Amino acid sequence: MLVFPAVLLPLSAQFGMNMVETLALSFWMYLLFGVTALPWGLLADKIGPRPLLALFHLGAGICGLLAAFNVSNPFLFSLSLAGIGLFSGIYHPVALGWIAKEVENTSKGMAINGMFGNLGLASAPLLAGTVNYFWGASAVYIALATFNVSGLIFLYLSKNGHRERINVKKSTETKSTLVPFLTLLVCMMLGGVVYRAVSVTLPAYFELQNQNLYDGFMALAGNFGSPNVFATVITSTIYLVGMVGQYYGGKVGEKVDLGKGYLIFHLITIPAAIAMAMTSNIPLIAFAMIHSFFLLGMQPIENTLVARLSPPNLHSTAYGLKFILTFGVGALSVSMVGGIKEAIGFNAVYLTLAGVSSLLVGTIFILNYFRKKIV
């Protein structure tokens, strides 16, 4: 999913379209990625995770290959991206539901999953930028297809060597949880807007805002590379910082009240987003690292809250509800980003995201109020 933003500007040049027009090609990918999460989750609770994860790897791989063959045709390329989104929508509700059912220490399990996910997030821009520099956008999507299909091998080799964990404890967090869960869904929807907007704009924003830093790098590196490669390297570094945040978030989820940790992590993203809108070069990178650390680091806490506030036999369905809002509604941020950039400017995108995060923090206060009333 993060390959597309990394090659957004090169694709714009290849299609002869401006950035906003090219960004619009990804709308259906992000929308389907989100809106299919609930049906995939419902299906996983009925047939189990393994066949659906196999379908994810095969389907996304084939669509990646179709995208590689259609980088000169915007319509067919957009259709191929939509297929990637459709099959990629399987992963989160199915895999996280699997973890919630089988891993006793949920926060730790979610943190480990998130760390490897962030390793993928960090690898995608770097891989895409480097492959695009040497061989072009078509080769980027061939590499993407290869990685997707190779997941079938690892899925086949993996063993499901233990029975599902059945939570029989009468935890106070599993009683009368409908209102807190619905409030949590609103929180996750707002978080999805922020996450998707950042993920689709960060490489291009770095490429445009870090020109002085890039010029200095080129002077030292002997003019090797390009602004796109340089921006994708920085983006990958940012996601590696987010990987550390995932580990830290898992630790916080084990030791601190989940609602309190969730609030603090999102609260810190607000000044970081404002600072990103007002800086460039090294300060921008520093604030982006802070933003990524806490925006991605809160995910183990959030995913553990979903597990705590949903019945064990409906975990995949609950995660499906999460991701239909997080990524489905979050897909609308693609259009929001384009509109704000055209009307006000790129910097205003991050000021807007700070406002969304402020609304999110207010909703977390409501969530924690309802959680305290659970008896």
Cα separation, 279 vs 34, whole angstroms: 32
Q: Please give the pLDDT value at position 330.
A: 72
pLDDT per position as a tens digit, 216-244? 767 776 656 677 677 778 888 888 898 89
- Which CATH code is given to the segment(s) 3-158+171-372? 1.20.1250.20
Among 169, 133, 145, 140, residue whose Cα is nearest residue 58: 145
Instruction: Print burial letters for 23-61: b (CB count within 10 Å at least 16), e (below 16).
Output: bebbbbbbbbbbbbbbebbebbbeebbeebbebbbebbb
SS (H, E, C) 139-171: HHHHHHHHHHHHHHHHHHHCCCCCCCCCCCCCC
- Which pLDDT score is estimated for 169? 43
C-alpha neighbours within 13 Å on the C-beta side of residue 154: 8
pLDDT band at 58; cut points 50, 70, 90: very high
What's the gap between Cα 203 and its chain centre?
14
Per-residue pLDDT at 63: 96
Mean pLDDT, the chain, rounded, equals: 87
HEC string of the chain equals: CCHHHHCHHHHHHHHCCCHHHHHHCCHHHHHHHHHCHHHHHHHHHHHCHHHHHHHHHHHHHHHHHHHHCCCCCHHHHHHHHHHHHHHHCCHHHHHHHHHHHHCCCHHHHHHHHHHHHHHHHHHHHHHHHHHHHHHCHHHHHHHHHHHHHHHHHHHHHCCCCCCCCCCCCCCHHHCCCHHHHHHHHHHHHHHHHHHHHHHHHHHHHHHHHCHHHHHHHHHHHCCCCCHHHHHHHHHHHHHHHHHHHHHHHHHHHHHCCHHHHHHHHHHHHHHHHHHHHHCCHHHHHHHHHHHHHHHHHCHHHHHHHHHHCCCHHHHHHHHHHHHHHHHHHCCHHHHHHHHHHHHCCHHHHHHHHHHHHHHHHHHHHHHHHHHHCCC
pLDDT of amino acid 225: 62
Query: Where are the chain's structural domains?
Result: 3-158+171-372
Q: What pLDDT, on the 0 to 100 scale, is given for residue 163?
A: 53
pLDDT higher than 60, residue 96 = yes
The whole-number pLDDT of residue 375 equals 45
The set of residues, in sequence order, having a beta carbon less than 8 Å from that of 92 and lying 6+ positions away, is 37, 319, 322, 323, 327
Cα–Cα dist 252/332, whole Å = 31
| pLDDT confidence of residue 341 | 86
What is the rounded average pLDDT of the residues 87-111?
A: 91
Which residues does 1 contact at the CB level (< 8 Å), separation at least 6? Answer: 29, 30, 33, 84, 85, 88, 124, 199
Regarding predicted confidence, which is higher, 163 or 230? Answer: 230
From CA 323, how far away is CA 36, in angstroms rounded?
9
Cα atoms in the 13 Å half-sphere on the side-chain side of 144: 34
pLDDT tens readout for residues 166-223: 444 444 444 568 899 999 999 999 998 999 899 888 878 887 887 777 777 677 766 5
Question: Is-contact 96 110, C-beta < 8 A?
Answer: yes
So what's the pLDDT on residue 83? Answer: 97
pLDDT digits (tens, 9 = 90+) for 290-345: 999 999 999 999 999 999 998 888 889 999 998 888 877 776 787 888 889 888 88
- Neighbour tally for 18: CB within 10 Å: 11
The larger pLDDT score, comparing residue 223 to residue 269, is at: 269
For a pLDDT cut of 70, what percent of the chain falls above it?
92
Give the mean pLDDT of 17-42. Answer: 89
Q: Which residue in 30, 11, 243 sits closest to 121, CA to CA? A: 243
pLDDT at 207: 78
Distance from C-alpha of 85 to C-alpha of 41, rounded to nearest angstrom? 15
Average pLDDT on 274-288 reads 93
